[in-house]
A and B are shown apart, each in its own frame.
Chain A
Amino acid sequence: MQVLADPTTGIWSATLPGGLTAWDVTLIASEVPSPGNTSEMSPHYTAPLYQVFLPLVLRNDPSPGRDPHFAQPRPPGCRRPW
């Protein structure tokens, strides 16, 4: 579902489908239709804290031959293979 934030205050409100609460959803903002920038997904909200769940998975094994892209330069600020 989608709702529109107030153009002056940014305040929005949503009524989630039955059975869902703030504990069940993540959010993403988008400047639609223009300029179209989209945010990262919000962290999970568990009052009064926001929590981020990052999976503990090591991606892109850097072993020679495993990932031919690994040796390419990373973008500025990127501390991981991408």
Chain B
Amino acid sequence: MVVGSPTDATARNIISGNGTSGISLGGTPSSGNAPQVNGNIIGLNASGTAALPSLSFGILVTHAASSLTLGADGATADQLISGNGSSGIRIQSSQQVHLGSSNYIGVGADHVTPLGNSGDGVGIGGSTSSTVTPAVIAHNGGGVTVAGDSSSGILIRPGDVHGNGWTAVDLIGTSGFDANDPGDTDTGPNTLLNYPEITSAEGNNVPGTACLGCFVFI
């Protein structure tokens, strides 16, 4: 199943103004029929200049497919998910979801104008091994929120997160910022992985510590 097109913006759908979610992906598809949702406008008018919200999520995923792509990397048709009454994207599937770099969440067609979703840009509960790498997450109620101990292996590396009403990335151990714990023995979404620490700062040379063998994104 394909909704929209990754390369042809004229094939995009305007999915806005609905009484619940704009798109709800549920059930179990046949093998080899993993859904893709690319290049659409979800929660805005056709020109992408004003909110035309669906009252709940822009996209709700409860899908049992093992591979689901929303806004593929490298797609030339951008996908706007903005202005909706709750989160832009809510993933409540235990399966792998790839949320790629052609998604612009909370902004208009110019990729700048604030048209945030009322809830989080992306809310995840229970997914494993998903990737969250949209181009922009801005002006939403929150940035990326991950809840539930069963949420694990979720790579979060959006291109630009700014202007949201809550922390950029919130792993819900406690709501909001979770301080590092010695030895990183706590549990929770993404194991409540400790964030990197800077140990001293002098000029533009920055040393620090992080989990063993981890990448540190700056």
Interface residues of A (CB under 8 A from B): 1-23, 25-32, 34-43, 45, 47, 50, 52, 54-55, 57-60, 66-69, 75-82
Name the interface residues of B167-218: CB closer than 8 Å to any CB of A.
167-178, 188, 190-191, 193-198, 201, 203-218
Residues of B within 8 A of A41 (CB): 167-169, 195
Min C-beta distance of A67 to chain B, whole Å: 6
Beta-carbon contact of A5 and B212 below 8 Å: yes
Q: Is B26 close to A, CB under 8 A?
A: no
Name the interface residues of B115-145: CB closer than 8 Å to any CB of A.
118-120, 123, 125, 129, 131, 141-142, 145
Min C-beta distance of B80 to chain A, whole Å: 20
Min C-beta distance of B181 to chain A, whole Å: 12
Please report the C-alpha to C-alpha distance between residue A23 and residue B166 in the assembled complex, in whole angstroms.
Answer: 21
Min C-beta distance of B121 to chain A, whole Å: 12
CB-nearest residue of chain B to A45: B198
Main secondary structure of the interface of B (DSSP, over half): loop
Known: A12-B196, A16-B206. A75 touches B148 (CB 8 A): yes
Count CB-based A-B contacts (< 8 Å).
233
The 5 tightest CB contacts between A and B, nearest first, are: A22-B201, A75-B147, A7-B213, A57-B165, A36-B153
Q: Is B111 close to A, CB under 8 A?
A: no
Please report the C-alpha to C-alpha distance between residue A69 and residue B84 in the assembled complex, in whole angstroms.
Answer: 12
Interface residues of B (CB under 8 A from A): 20, 55-57, 85-87, 118-120, 123, 125, 129, 131, 141-142, 145, 147-148, 152-157, 164-178, 188, 190-191, 193-198, 201, 203-218
Beta-carbon contact of A5 and B210 below 8 Å: yes
Beta-carbon contact of B218 and A54 below 8 Å: no
Beta-carbon contact of A38 and B218 below 8 Å: no
Please report the C-alpha to C-alpha distance between residue A50 and residue B196 in the assembled complex, in whole angstroms.
Answer: 12
Residues of A within 8 A of B203 (CB): 21
Residues of A within 8 A of B164 (CB): 55
Known: A41-B167, A69-B56. A25 touches B155 (CB 8 A): no
Please report the C-alpha to C-alpha distance between residue A77 and residue B131 in the assembled complex, in whole angstroms.
Answer: 24
Given A40-B177, A66-B85, A68-B85, 18 additional A-B pairs, CB 8 A: A5-B209, A6-B212, A12-B196, A21-B201, A27-B196, A28-B157, A35-B153, A42-B197, A45-B201, A54-B176, A67-B118, A68-B20, A69-B56, A76-B148, A77-B173, A78-B147, A80-B166, A82-B87
